[in-house]
């Protein structure tokens, strides 16, 4: 075993090596910091790297382990954090000029839980500005590139995290999913991304985009890793009123089951057809065949209102955005422009917001402000809320018949950088399949199912009822085992290694 093969190992295997004393967290952290140094200039996955803090945390875990302390299952494992999680004394920018250099005075609950579980925070990953985008191109700090093809996008908004995990810069990451920001990047980078049931993971300290849709979740290379991380970050938080009582259990167990016999699987009729890449549909249908062969009951179900989900989402989401982002007014923290003594407070706010927010953010603030304004409120925001209810009812009806629903995660493979930047609607369509679960609040995940003809990864989306997150892991764990056997190893092994990479498969 060389240091370089450590980079490609799943987190649960690394954890076993740490427990066995074969490697130290410091060693593991150092290898990842070196890989970041080598690859980040190409990928721009990290916006901030905390080498000093990470090594200190790693040494602390090593010392505690040496002292015989009982540690959590992922203690000592390095992790990347999306830049919208507040991290005490570590920059938190949300990919925006508006928060450039802002050092939060507090940790998000997820961060507290990571630290308590002994994970080592490597740094903060790039994202679309305030998580608005599906390509990480709206980041004020430049786009992130997809390690499979650096001319292509790594998905968004959590493209920094997906690229970091797919490019072996970190074995794990945490992200947030408002319309697909964990799942779609997972699909286009060949990694695992899970959006837990709304309320399953605390939002406290995650800079809000659309509060009723935002849900933090795990990003990983394997299903079991995602489950283990989900168990670390999940569970009730008294600081988040919308957080669900209790803790998630049985997720890792479900990931290890590797059996889908008797599971009722619904193929959502509306999520396919026109606008979907043939390769994506083929890979998806291939996975559905495997499910049938493995003894699952596969049926087709209709969720007629999913057709309107995207439209409803693009009213509810910007409405909440317009309110959540109002606090960035240059008064208390973050960017302040035009404060030269000639401008009053109102003008300073206006100048700062004008310069500090990017185009996509401004577009959504304007749409949201309009959707909520007097005289239009019922017509736009009100109607969208009704559609939201109908989408949730479609799910309810489908889950009467099925244990899980499946669809492609996103209609296409990773598109080229710049390809959709001037066409917001095309960009929004990347989230066509993922948005319904945000509107309804149920659990959903993306797992790698193959590659396109041009060698780009494709994801399968699994959707489960609220609180039945374990079913995602059961299907995902089985699928991974079957496919890896077929492929002769993980999908990421099919990626052409980047010239600068230090990662090697054993």
Partner 1 sequence: MTEMLDYDDVLENFDPAIGLEVHVELSTASKMFCGCSTTFGAEPNSQTCPVCLGLPGSLPVVNAKAVESAIRIGLALNCQIAPWGRFARKNYFYPDMTKNFQTSQYDEPIAHDGWVDLEVEGEMFRIDVERAHMEEDAGKLTHVGTSGRIHGAEYSLLDYNRAGTPLIEIVTRPILGTGAKAPQVAKAYVSHLRDLMRALKVSDVRMEHGSLRCDANISLAPKGAVELGIRTETKNVNSLRSVERAITFEMRRQGALLLDGGRVKQETRHFDEATGTTRSGRSKEEAQDYRYFAEPDLVPVAPSAEWVEELRATLPEQPVARRKRLAGEWDTDELAMRDIVAVGAMDMIEETVAAGAAPQAARKWWVGELARRANEGGVELEELAITPKDVAEVCALVASGELNDKLARQVFEGVLAGEGSAREVVDNRGLAVVSDDGALKDAVDKAIAANPDVAARIRDGKHQAIGALIGQVMKAMRGQADAARVRELVLEELG
Q: Where on the chain is the footprint of partner 1 (CB under 8 A)?
A: 84-86, 92, 94, 99, 102, 104-106, 108, 203-208, 210-212, 238-242, 319-320, 322-323, 326-329, 331-333, 345-346, 349, 369, 372-374, 377, 381
Q: How far is the CB of 439 from partner 1 (least distance, A)?
A: 13
Q: Identify whether 429 is a catalytic site residue.
A: no
Q: Of residues 9, 25, 82, 243, which has the active-site annotation? A: 82
| DSSP class per residue in 54-83 | HHHHHHHHHHHHHTT----TTTT-EEEEET
CB-wise, 367 or 462, nearer to partner 1? 367
Q: How far is the CB of 328 from partner 1 (least distance, A)?
A: 8
CB-wise, 63 or 326, nearer to partner 1? 326
Q: How far is the CB of 108 from partner 1 (least distance, A)?
A: 6
CB-wise, 342 or 374, nearer to partner 1? 374
Q: How far is the CB of 246 from partner 1 (least distance, A)?
A: 16
The stretches of 343-502 forming alpha helices (DSSP H) are 345-356, 359-372, 383-401, 424-428, 435-440, 469-487
Q: Of residues 157, 162, 176, 444, which has the active-site annotation? A: 157
Q: How far is the CB of 211 from partner 1 (least distance, A)?
A: 4
Q: Identify whether 157 is a catalytic site residue.
A: yes
Distance CA 385, CA 421 (A): 28
CB-wise, 211 or 452, nearer to partner 1? 211
Closest CA to 74 of 250, 210, 231, 295: 231
Q: Is 280 helix (H, G, I), strand (E, B) or coil?
A: helix
Are residues 344 and 331 in contact, defined by beta-carbon separation less than 8 angstroms?
no
Q: How far is the CB of 112 from partner 1 (least distance, A)?
A: 12
Distance CA 318, CA 324 (A): 10
Cα 503 to the center of its chain, rounded Å: 23
Residue 117 CB contacts under 8 Å (≥ 6 apart), including other chains:
72, 74, 75, 232
CB-wise, 42 or 350, nearer to partner 1? 350
Q: Of residues 134, 161, 162, 181, which has the active-site annotation? A: 181
Strand pairing report for 172-177 and 78-82: parallel
Q: How far is the CB of 357 from partner 1 (least distance, A)?
A: 14
CB-wise, 241 or 342, nearer to partner 1? 241
Are residues 110 and 231 in contact, defined by beta-carbon separation less than 8 angstroms?
no
Residue 242 sits at the vertex; the CA angle it makes with 433 and 81, to the nearest 5 degrees, is: 65
The secondary structure element, H or E, covering residue 172 is strand 172-177
* Peptide bond between residue 157 and the one before it cis (omega within 30 degrees of 0): yes
Dihedral sign from CA coordinates of 149, 150, 154, 158: positive
DSSP lists the bridge partners of residue 80 as 123, 173
CB-wise, 371 or 458, nearer to partner 1? 371
Q: Within 13 Å and on the Cβ side, how many CA atoms surround 302?
A: 1
CB-wise, 13 or 240, nearer to partner 1? 240
DSSP lists the bridge partners of residue 405 as 266, 463
Cα 411 to the center of its chain, rounded Å: 17
Q: How far is the CB of 323 from partner 1 (least distance, A)?
A: 5
State the catalytic residues: 82, 157, 181
């Amino acid at each position: 075993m060389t240091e370089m093969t450590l980079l490609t190992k799943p987190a649960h295997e690394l954890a076993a090596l740490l427990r066995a004393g074969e490697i130290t967290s410091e060693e593991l952290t150092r290898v990842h910091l070196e890989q970041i140094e080598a690859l980040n200039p190409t990928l721009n996955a990290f916006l901030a790297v905390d080498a000093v803090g990470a090594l200190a945390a790693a040494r602390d875990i090593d010392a505690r382990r040496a002292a015989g302390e009982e540690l959590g299952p992922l203690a000592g494992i390095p992790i990347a954090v999306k830049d919208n999680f507040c991290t005490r004394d570590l920059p938190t920018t949300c990919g925006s000029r508006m928060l450039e250099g802002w050092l939060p005075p507090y940790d998000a609950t997820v961060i507290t839980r990571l630290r308590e579980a002994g994970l080592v925070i490597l740094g903060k990953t790039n994202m679309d500005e305030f998580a608005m985008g599906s390509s990480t191109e709206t980041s004020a700090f430049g786009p992130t590139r997809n390690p499979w093809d650096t001319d292509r996008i790594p998905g968004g908004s959590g493209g920094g995290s997906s690229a970091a995990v797919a490019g072996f810069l970190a074995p794990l990451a945490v992200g947030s999913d408002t319309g697909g920001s964990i799942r779609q990047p997972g699909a286009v980078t060949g990694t695992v991304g899970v959006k837990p049931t709304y309320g399953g993971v605390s939002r406290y300290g995650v800079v809000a985009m659309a509060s009723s849709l935002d849900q933090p979740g795990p990003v990983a290379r394997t299903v079991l890793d995602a489950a283990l991380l989900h168990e670390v970050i999940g569970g009730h938080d008294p600081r988040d009123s919308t957080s669900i009582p209790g803790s998630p259990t049985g997720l890792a167990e479900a990931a290890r089951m590797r059996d889908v016999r008797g599971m009722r699987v619904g193929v959502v009729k509306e999520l396919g057809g026109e606008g979907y890449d043939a390769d994506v549909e083929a890979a998806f249908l291939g996975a559905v065949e495997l499910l049938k062969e493995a003894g699952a009951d596969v049926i087709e179900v209709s969720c007629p209102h999913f057709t309107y989900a995207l439209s409803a989402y693009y009213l509810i989401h910007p409405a909440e955005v317009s309110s959540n982002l109002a606090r960035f007014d240059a008064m208390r923290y973050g960017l302040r422009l035009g404060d030269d003594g000639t401008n009053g407070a109102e003008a300073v706010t206006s100048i700062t917001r004008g310069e500090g927010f990017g185009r996509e953010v401004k577009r959504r603030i304007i749409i949201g402000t309009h959707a909520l304004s007097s005289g239009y409120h019922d017509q736009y925001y009100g109607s969208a809320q009704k559609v939201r209810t109908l989408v949730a009812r479609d799910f309810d009806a489908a889950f009467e018949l099925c244990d899980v629903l499946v669809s492609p995660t996103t209609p296409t493979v990773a598109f080229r950088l710049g390809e959709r930047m001037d066409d917001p609607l095309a960009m929004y369509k990347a989230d066509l399949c993922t948005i319904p679960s945000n509107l309804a609040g149920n659990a959903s995940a993306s797992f790698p199912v193959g590659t396109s003809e041009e060698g780009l990864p494709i994801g399968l989306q699994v959707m489960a009822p609220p609180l039945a997150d374990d079913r995602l892991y059961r299907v995902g764990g089985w699928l991974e085992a079957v496919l890896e056997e077929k492929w002769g190893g993980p999908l990421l092994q099919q990626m052409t290694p980047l010239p600068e990479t230090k990662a090697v498969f054993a």
